[in-house]
């Protein structure tokens, strides 16, 4: 794409580390002058029935699937508010609507993303009409 005038920036980032997510967003703003879109699509789905007590799997799902979205919003939102523009797109699963055996924690994290997206829309929209918040389902 660079032959056609495109530019790309690669920054290795662990979405469970708030400081790394902030570094990613700050690098994008420094390189391109602004952040237009933040797509939150990281997710894990280990099959983890509650009775197996796989607490480490649960913690990892919560860290990636939910806290990762929170960290992305925390990093991008201040820039978008200063710019008076931008889009945050949070991708969640239909598992946030329909719980199946073995996926209770996964479903809970996706439901949390849905609730967070709606809360973000309600809290920020009245003061920043140029910003758009979206929730996509895979």
Catalytic residue, from 106, 107, 110, 135: name it: 106
Between the alpha carbon of residue 118 and those of residues 4, 10, 59, 121, the distances in Å are 38, 30, 23, 5
Neighbours of 48 (CB within 10 A): 21
Question: Catalytic site residue 106?
Answer: yes
From 14, 105, 5, select the one nearest 62 (Cα to Cα): 105
- HSE-CB at 95 with a 13 A cutoff on CA atoms is 22
Q: Which are the catalytic amino acids?
A: 106
């Amino acid at each position: 794409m660079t032959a056609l005038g495109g530019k790309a920036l690669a920054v290795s980032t662990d979405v469970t580390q708030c400081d790394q997510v902030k570094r990613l967003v700050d690098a994008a703003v420094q390189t391109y002058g602004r952040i237009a879109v933040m797509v939150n699509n990281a997710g894990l789905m280990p099959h983890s029935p509650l009775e197996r007590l796989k607490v480490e799997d649960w913690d990892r799902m919560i860290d990636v699937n939910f806290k990762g979205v929170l960290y992305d919003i925390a990093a991008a939102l201040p820039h978008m508010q200063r710019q008076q523009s931008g889009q945050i797109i949070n991708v969640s699963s239909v598992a946030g609507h329909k719980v199946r055996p073995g996926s209770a924690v996964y479903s809970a994290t996706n439901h949390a993303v849905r609730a967070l997206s709606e809360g973000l829309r309600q809290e920020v929209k009245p003061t920043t009409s140029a910003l758009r918040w979206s929730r996509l389902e895979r």
